[in-house]
Amino acid sequence: MKILIAEDDENSRVFLERALLSQGYDVVSAGNGIQALEKAIQASPDLIISDIMMPKMDGFELCRLVKLDERLRAIPFVFYTATFAEPQDKKLAMSLGASRFLIKPMEPDEFFKTIQKVIVNHQQSEQTEAERPVTGTAELDRMYAETLARKLEKKVSQLEDALGQLRANEERFRNTFEQAAVGIAHVALDGRFLRVNQKLADIVGYSREGLQEKTFQEITCPDDLDTDRAYVRQLLEHRLQTYSMEKRYIHKDEHLVWVNLTVSLVAATSPDPGYFIAVVEDITRRKQLEAQLFQAQKMEAIGQLAGGVAHDFNNILTGIIGFGTLMDMAMDKKDPQRQNLNHILAGAERAANLTKSLLAFSRKQVSNPLPVDLNEIITKIGKFIQPIIGEDIDLKITVSNDVLIVKADTGQIEQVLLNLATNARDAMTSGGLLTIETEPVLLDTDFMKAHGYGEAGEYARISVSDSGCGMDDTTLKRVFEPFFTTKGVGKGTGLGLSMVYGIIKQHNGFINVYSELGVGTKFTIYLPMTLSAIMEDASGEEELLEKRTATILVADDDPSVRELSEKVLGMVGITVITAEDGNDAVEKFLENKDTIDLVVLDIIMSKMNGKEVYEKAKEIRPDIKVVFISGYAADFMNNRGMLDEKLEFVEKPFNPRRLLKKIQEVLDKTN
Ligand code: ADP
Ligand code: MG
């Protein structure tokens, strides 16, 4: 048995085909009335099952034509419909000569039974009159027209509903597109922006219309374009579903904005050639913070390294300078070797200055911060700056009217200004203007957030600007690195700015630099202001080295320091007891507890540190005097208490005279 199915909906058709095949029928299918009529003639089926609503020719018309055709008239015709389910529809169908009018959905069993029955009935009665159109053509036409009109009305109202829903949906999607917190664009396959949302336009600084005249290639940073294009190719070749990348767009103002871009391809459906959906998130801020963090970490790491090396170097230099000085003292004034020795000593002093710069950069230099008026420091140091920069460069110093009290080491701040001035001079080879200004500023949390450092509060701002050659970006990024210099061999050490950086950090301040090639450079320093206006003057005059009797315990694990101290102190008649580590120091102190007048302790020693030795000694002799030796501010940082107690210390590498002077000072102090 062969059945012809006329059904435009593919799902229903395939389903029906399978169902009938499973029941052992042969099946022929058509997607519309015209096709069905052709197939009916070709295949002469035993039964036609037809939908009603179909394109090109509907089921009613199909039925009418079948029943009018001599060749086909005998084939039983069954309507199977979901949409035309009213009594009038059935009436029209039956009038057209249909055998059955079935309404979807139907239980499969019942459906098959009915089909079977139609076929059997038909075979028994062969061609009956009932299967011809029963009504006159005019009547049929009227019924047909009526049915269609009703159907159309219904369809129109369904379409209107659907359209309403579509519009609501469209509205929702539009809002999602328009109001998204990320940029979204539909991009043509050639890169043109077809549609963009406001957010994307904002990110790159264009109006939406303006952006829609651009291609993504035009606004992508050239450095990122190749990567982006390679991804696009992979999308087009279906080797990728979607890709994400961090890239830079060129803002309308020509600066770069960092974004995170995610792109997927909407495949072509004819006649639409397809397009890309791009989602764009602005990550400029995150990138800035990352860069700042990276820079801070790099400086920290270099600082650690430099500080470590400098610390060991200091011990060596202490020996060289110390023994050299001893030789110098002992030598006959006319000794021909003295000149050589002085060269050695001068070299060692230069090396000591270098290590000092390194320690300053790594924030390990001992600093002695006191409340000072920054304006006073600057006014004083200004007098030294003019001769440094020479006559071709004008110096303009403008200090604020307010007193700017900061807790600072005067010597270090002077060093900062001298280093900046020296650099400015080098940048203004044919003259120019050096400006130094101070001003109190209140930095709020917004400022801190924008720059990624510091705590909000009152700061003293020092700006040092020059009208020199300026710097390019590569130089600018590296200026604070130790040993970074663009100056020729012998001209620059590359330590000036790293020293500045370290000192400012040590003062809990921060520094930034702005520079334009050929225009000039401006360094801006912020130092936190302290309210306390107590100022101390810590200057002392050189004292004569006179003979005296005293007993001193010197503890340092560096033998050259011990030996040196022994000799220097011995020269002025002081008895020296030496100890090589913390434990040894405590033992020696116990043995000589009644005779010792003062202890000289290295802060970092094996077994027990200087601070601990001092604590032990104090338990035994509360009045004991002490001088600490160190080149390592960190020691003090870790033992903040020591600074507060105003303890005395000598910095490494020390000149023997300085140690002697310090010891005398302390001995002379009455408790
Ligand atoms: P140095 O002066 O020994 O080279 P610095 O650490 O002081 O080392 O400076 C590092 C580099 O920074 C300099 O070599 C120079 O290229 C650049 N620089 C510093 N200050 C300025 C300035 N005011 N104008 C232009 N370039 C500068
Ligand atoms: Mg310099």
Residue nearest to atom 2 of ligand 1 (CA): 492
Residue nearest to atom 23 of ligand 1 (CA): 424
Alpha-carbon span 34 to 29, nearest angstrom: 12
Does the beta carbon of 196 sit less than 6 angstroms from any atom of ligand 1? Answer: no
- DSSP-H helix ranges across 273-396: 284-330, 338-361, 374-389
Sign of CA dihedral 5, 8, 13, 14: positive
Does the beta carbon of 362 sit less than 6 angstroms from any atom of ligand 1? Answer: no
Does the beta carbon of 454 sit less than 6 angstroms from any atom of ligand 1? Answer: no
Does the beta carbon of 493 sit less than 6 angstroms from any atom of ligand 1? Answer: yes
Measured from the alpha carbon of residue 388, the closest ligand is 2
Query: Where is pLDDT greater, at 588 or 303?
Result: 588
Ligand 2 is an ion; residues with CB less than 5 A from it = 423, 496
Q: Which CATH superfamily is domain 550-668 in?
A: Response regulator (3.40.50.2300)
Nearest CA-CA partner of 13 in 21, 618, 669: 21
Does the beta carbon of 468 sit less than 6 angstroms from any atom of ligand 1? Answer: yes
Domain residue spans of the chain: 2-153, 180-282, 367-536, 550-668
414 pLDDT higher than 90: no
251 pLDDT higher than 80: yes
**Can you tell me which atom of ligand 1 is nearest the CA of 422?**
2
How many alpha carbons lie under 13 Å from residue 624 in its C-beta half-sphere? Answer: 28
CA 501 to ligand 1 center in whole angstroms? 13
Fold of 2-153: Rossmann fold (3.40.50)
CB within 8 Å of 103: residues ≥ 6 apart? 80, 81, 82, 85
Phi-psi bin for 454: left (phi > 0), alpha (psi -120 to 50), beta? left
Query: Where is pLDDT greater, at 549 or 540?
Result: 549
Could you tell me which CATH class the domain 180-282 is placed in? alpha beta
Judge if 180-282 and 367-536 fold alike in CATH terms.
no
pLDDT digits (tens, 9 = 90+) for 90-110: 888 888 888 889 888 888 888
Does the beta carbon of 514 sit less than 6 angstroms from any atom of ligand 1? Answer: no
Q: Indicate the pLDDT class of residue 297, thresholds 50, 70 and 90.
A: confident
Could you tell me which CATH class the domain 367-536 is placed in? alpha beta
Sequence-separated contacts (24+) of 329-332 with Cβ below 8 Å:
329/571
CA 481 to ligand 1 center in whole angstroms? 10
pLDDT digits (tens, 9 = 90+) for 604-657: 788 888 888 999 998 999 888 998 887 665 445 455 455 556 678 777 766 666
Residue nearest to atom 8 of ligand 1 (CA): 494
Q: Indicate the pLDDT class of residue 443, thresholds 50, 70 and 90.
A: confident
Beta-bridge partners for 153: none
**Can you tell me which atom of ligand 1 is nearest the CA of 497?**
6
Residue nearest to atom 7 of ligand 1 (CA): 496
Alpha-carbon span 103 to 604, nearest angstrom: 99
pLDDT digits (tens, 9 = 90+) for 199-231: 999 999 999 999 999 999 999 999 999 999 999
**Can you tell me which atom of ligand 1 is nearest the CA of 481?**
6
- Mean pLDDT score of the chain: 85
CA 419 to ligand 2 center in whole angstroms? 6
